[in-house]
């Protein structure tokens, strides 16, 4: 059973371009969480999705950022018109049930986005 797969591992975009980050959860996991880690900072929650539904997007910037987790295929975090401040490592985690007292979520290797 492969772990949480994120791709690409590294992504370079020029200011104003779009970035699409993909996350394939572990087999049997229907809950996905996206986190952002800025340089010298801890991981910050962005969004929690269940298949075809956004459950909690309280950590998502109001503009330019969107996320989806379709019925088929990976979860996508999309950043439009990227700016230098978007440069960070973006981690995805997945779990079989909602993240809870007895349910651990597993993290992917992350996508390191660099905006030049």
Which residues in this chain contact another protein in the complex, by CB under 8 A? Answer: 3-4, 33, 35, 41-45, 48, 55-56, 58-59, 91, 98-101, 104-110
SS (H, E, C) 64-104: CEEEECCCCCCEEEEECCCCHHHCEEEEEEEECCCCECCEC
**Minimum CB–partner distance for residue 17 and another protein (Å):** 26
- Residue 49: CB atoms within 10 Å: 26
Q: Is 88 helix (H, G, I), strand (E, B) or coil?
A: strand
Tokens of 45: 């929650």
**Minimum CB–partner distance for residue 24 and another protein (Å):** 14
d(CA 42, CA 18) in angstroms, rounded, equals 24
Q: Which is nearer to another protein, 49 or 82 (CB)?
A: 49
Q: Which is nearer to another protein, 42 or 85 (CB)?
A: 42
Q: Which is nearer to another protein, 14 or 39 (CB)?
A: 39
**Minimum CB–partner distance for residue 15 and another protein (Å):** 27
Q: Which is nearer to another protein, 23 or 82 (CB)?
A: 23
Q: Which residues pair with 73 in a beta bridge?
A: none
């Amino acid at each position: 059973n492969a772990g949480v797969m994120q791709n690409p591992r590294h992504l370079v975009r020029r200011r104003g371009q779009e970035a699409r980050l993909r996350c394939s959860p572990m087999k049997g996991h229907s809950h996905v969480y996206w986190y952002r880690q800025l340089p010298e900072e801890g991981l910050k929650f962005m969004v929690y999705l269940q298949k075809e539904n956004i459950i909690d997007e309280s950590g998502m910037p109001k503009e330019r950022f969107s996320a989806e987790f379709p019925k088929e295929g990976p979860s996508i975090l999309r950043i439009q018109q990227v700016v230098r401040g978007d440069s960070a490592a973006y981690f995805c985690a997945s779990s079989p049930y909602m993240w809870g007292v007895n349910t651990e979520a597993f993290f992917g290797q992350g996508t390191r986005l660099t905006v030049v």
